[in-house]
Structure 1
């Protein structure tokens, strides 16, 4: 398929995990893909940036437009997570999580909007099921992802009439390299892998490529009547009640 022929996409955090799968899928369908993250990316045209500094967002967008002449797709995927109880978390850690997961996506959308308006472009934000529920010690992460979901709806309301659609995906447990390595290093990794599968009605965890398929569909013209939505992709986990 060439759904993105002659289109330009920016994927933040596109060097690894879900972001890499999204970038690869967009490229396979014809897009010119830029990624933005700390350091280099050998696969794509890369922009090195510190997402804890939201003021850098305009530079990222300007760089893409200067090099490619346009912007059609913005995927806000970069994110961080820190574990701590509210009373244990420092203000610096809280602010860093909010900056990377929420404020920088806002700043990128703000800087990108004139260019997306010109191309009738699309925005896809990578949220989380933790924007809908919570795991222990994830206060800052949950707050940032819930905020990103809310931002998604607000941007859609304000700009869909101008031709710019905005949606989000909320992944559950996805087998990124980081998660796979985490399980591998557990004392009883096989038992944990089986146990983590049982919390999903489909009987397994998800893959980055499955998330990428949803993101790319939302960014494509096939989803032209879809905006302001948060699409849960979690193998049914959030729909499953605990045993009575």
Structure 2
């Protein structure tokens, strides 16, 4: 059965790979990007996001079954915050009411394995508080120091994964029957990463901070296929997850035990539940 998808970042890279696959399967796809898509807009501004959402829904006749938010940039500048976090969140929230009308609504965003790397807590918290002016101010301060500028991208992706986890179980998402999830790639071979892997010195640095023991750097199709499944009707119960499709970077960085840190909190939850049941 054909479904209708809206994809941000559809002009290149992962978004384009997802759009191409979905169209080949006979689905309707409306792409949103700065250039090279059906809807050309700037997701770095609130006005651009709102107009993009309105234009995309107008193009689909108000019908949408799934949204894949893959637009993003990686520069150590405030615009990275505006596009990566607020561009995804505000766009998703703008189309959510229409999405909820689908028989099988789905939403998925592109995070990054950088969400596991060092980030700037005040910046991350400002994003999660929905304070875009404060977030941009903090990012501008970080951008003045080359050593701190790299925290901007990681913070944008940490905040995005946390937003997905927080909102996924809320009434607007889970309560409306909309699975909301994220995919976190490693180094994907796209125009955005061309400079990072373009010479031996840069590539060696990237491989040190983004270790990928399984199959090394990945094609965009490896992420697109996972996004498509998460955005499909078959995904009925996966909620709030950031799935690290990163060649093993997550395991290298966090080790084999990614659970014990939460044992105390989970224990407190069960104690509360069992206590209330007595």
Unpaired segments ≥5 residues, structure 1: 84-92
The one of 74, 79, 102 aligned to 2:72: 79
Q: Distance in 1 between matches of 2:159 and 2:201?
A: 36
Shift of 1:209: 0.4
Q: Distance in 1 between matches of 2:74 and 2:196?
A: 14
Q: Secondary structure at the match of 1:205?
A: coil
Q: Distance in 1 between matches of 2:252 and 2:230?
A: 25
Shift of 1:173: 0.9
The one of 186, 190, 193 aligned to 1:176: 190
The structure with the largest alpha-carbon Rg is 2
Shift of 1:128: 0.5
Q: Secondary structure at the match of 1:79?
A: coil
**TM-score, normalised to structure 2's length?**
0.72
1:164 has 2:182 as partner? no
Could you tell me which residue of structure 1 aligns to residue 243 of structure 2? 231
The aligned runs of 1:31-46 (5 Å cut-off) are 31-41=27-37, 46=38
The aligned runs of 1:150-161 (5 Å cut-off) are 150-158=162-170, 159-161=173-175
- Superposed CA deviations along residues 22-43 of structure 1, whole A, max 9, x for unmatched, are 11112122221111111233xx
Quick check: 2:14–2:224 contact (8 Å CA) kept in 1?
A: yes
1:127 has 2:141 as partner? no
Shift of 1:170: 0.6
Could you tell me which residue of structure 1 aligns to residue 13 of structure 2? 17
Corresponding residue pairs, total? 222
Q: CA RMSD of the aligned region, Å?
A: 2.6
Greater shift in the superposed pair: 115-124 or 200-209: 200-209
Q: Distance in 1 between matches of 2:45 and 2:240?
A: 27
Q: Distance in 2 between matches of 1:113 and 1:215?
A: 18
Q: Secondary structure at the match of 2:2?
A: coil
Unpaired segments ≥5 residues, structure 2: 120-146, 255-278
Q: Distance in 1 between matches of 2:201 and 2:154?
A: 28
Could you tell me which residue of structure 2 aligns to residue 58 of structure 1? 50
